[in-house]
Chains A and B, each alone.
Chain A
Amino acid sequence: MIEAHSLTKRYGARTVVDTMSFTVQPGKVTGFLGPNGAGKSTTMRMVVGLDRPTAGTVTVNGRPYAQHRAPLGEVGVLLDAKAVHGGRSAREHLTALAATHGIGRRRVDAVLEVTGLTSVARVRAGRFSLGMGQRLGIAAALLGDPQTLILDEPVNGLDPEGVLWVRTLLRGLAAEGRTVLLSSHLMSEMALTADHLIVIGRGRVVADAPVEEVVSRAGVAGVRLRTPDAPRLAALLGREAGVEVTSTGTDLLQVTGTTAPAVSAVAAAAGIALHELAPVTASLEDAYLQLTGGEVEYRSAATPDPTAPTRRTAGASR
């Protein structure tokens, strides 16, 4: 369990983490989301004592991280793939870490096996690809068999099989009752892996809720339809209270505040043909972009209005 109370980090006049309070519960995968520069990595670094909070406290399993006598047995952490000296082999890197906690050779072999690095255990880490580096970082995080795992962008650079493997691993660890805090920019992956979300923007928590709740709060659910008689149907549908119709093409309509059967009934009564009719559910990405729309630190010029209920392809606004 990770508990942050009014956690604050300032660099000079810039406040990166602003009185953030949250609890990461055991037995769940908690996703940590936020735009670049929102303070995710800084927060994670403060949890394991690499950065000193300007104010506030954060504890892991009931104590500040540095007060644990065997910290690697409490928390496994992957902050980035490059926390390794490139001149050492994967096995040597893990052996050195293991030595600090009296962890035996067998466990080093086991985490190499689990992360699929056995065959390259003697290769110097500097020659590793990004994905292999991530695997080594995950191996290091698992070394002490910790109750709590903190992983910053663990699937970054992994192949699809590796992504699936990380998902299976993390869900399994959470199912055993461990605490898993995970950050990622891949919304689709987060939707599949996380149970709970903490969304931050500009150093503040903007949402702290189960994934379904965050998604449903986005409230962009509606119906998309294609009809040759778009203007007339739009006029008919727009008469009903609470219904909003947007034209997204010459024969395309996006309707919110109603359901597919209701739209179908209106069209049938008026004798209008429908070529397509599909319910649109909000995605985590929609919800995320709505939540963080006003909080983006580094906005690209081409960013569309994040509150528009249109689906975007991943990465379009980042």
Chain B
Amino acid sequence: MTAATAPAARTAPRTAVQPVTFGRLVAAEWVKLRSLRSTWWALALAVAFFPLLAAVQSASVSRIADDAPAGAFVGPVYVTSGLTLSQLVLCGLAVVLITAEYRTGQIRSTLAAAPRRLPVLWAKLAVLVGVTLVAGLVGVVAGWVAAAPWFEAAGMSVDLSQPEHLRLLLGVPLYLAAMAALAYGFGAVLRSSAAGIATVLGLVFVVEPAFSYIPWEPLQRFASYLPSAAGSRLVTSDAMGSVVAGSQSAALGPWAGFAVLLGWVAAALVVAAVLLRRRDA
């Protein structure tokens, strides 16, 4: 194709090459994330669940509002009812963010450019957290807009001056980012998309509920400290939270629960970091 153009590379002046910095790695990881179509499909889906479910849920409660006592429905809970499905998609994206590097062999290019390795793990994490925070926030706003037409009929409202409402709304991007970070940690440890996704979804949708259904008090107490159960306290309304806390005899407050989730995230990432340094790429 280009035998004749080969000398061009050599007659040009030497290319300016800058040291690898954390900022440059973040920039590179952002280029990598945004250049994949699957990223945009996943983000669009994760955001779209919010207005979709917000509208459906608000519309359905608006029909029974007359039979319910005043203030029975907490507006932000209905605005953010897309959370569970959105979490599923974002956790999948987070796992694949790292496992696809191993599946495709891209990891060798990535680590050859950044042979200290650990900064790559953190740069990817930074991009992931940034993207999931934004997606969560956009989802919440879209959910609010979609649910608004039924607020009056359902007798509910969203009041940002109420600390509980603010927590429920802003907790969503925080919870999503933390769960995505946890999924990313699992992906980095397991290095396989199938295993990573199965582990995360299995934990959130099978293992955690299974524990909480077994009517044995110590087990239920333990279950309330599992990542998703603990972390979702941040996005659970006070009324619902007291019911849950009562049934499980575990009094994790919203922020305490979120802190427990962050503890799980830190643990997963520490294991991922140790393995990344030790294993051959």
Contact = CB atoms under 8 A, between A and B. Distances in A.
Interface residues of A, number: 58
Interface stretch (B7-15, B211-219, B229-237): B7-15
Given A52-B280, A70-B18, A97-B113, A88 B36 contact: yes
Given A70-B19, A100-B24, A100-B113, A111 B10 contact: no
Contacts of A145: 9, 14-15, 17
Interface in A144-171: 144-145, 161-162, 164-165, 168-169
Contacts of B106: 83-85
A70 B17 contact: yes
B118 to A, nearest CB: 11
A115 interface: yes
A79 interface: yes
A71 B9 CA distance: 19
Interface in A241-300: none
A2 to B, nearest CB: 15
Nearest to A144: B17
B161 interface: no
A193 interface: no
Given A84-B109, A85-B104, A116-B2, A103 B15 contact: yes
A172 B38 CA distance: 41
B207 interface: no
Contacts, number: 154
A96 B28 contact: yes
Interface string B6-50: 111110101111111000110111011001111000000000000
Interface residues on B, range: 35 or more
Interface stretch (A20-28, A42-50, A179-187, A205-213): A42-50
B111 interface: yes
Given A84-B104, A100-B24, A168 B280 contact: no
30 contacts: A49-B111, A49-B115, A66-B115, A71-B112, A71-B115, A77-B112, A83-B107, A83-B112, A84-B106, A85-B101, A87-B37, A88-B36, A96-B28, A96-B35, A97-B109, A97-B113, A99-B24, A99-B27, A99-B28, A100-B27, A104-B16, A110-B9, A113-B5, A114-B5, A114-B6, A114-B8, A140-B109, A162-B1, A165-B3, A165-B6
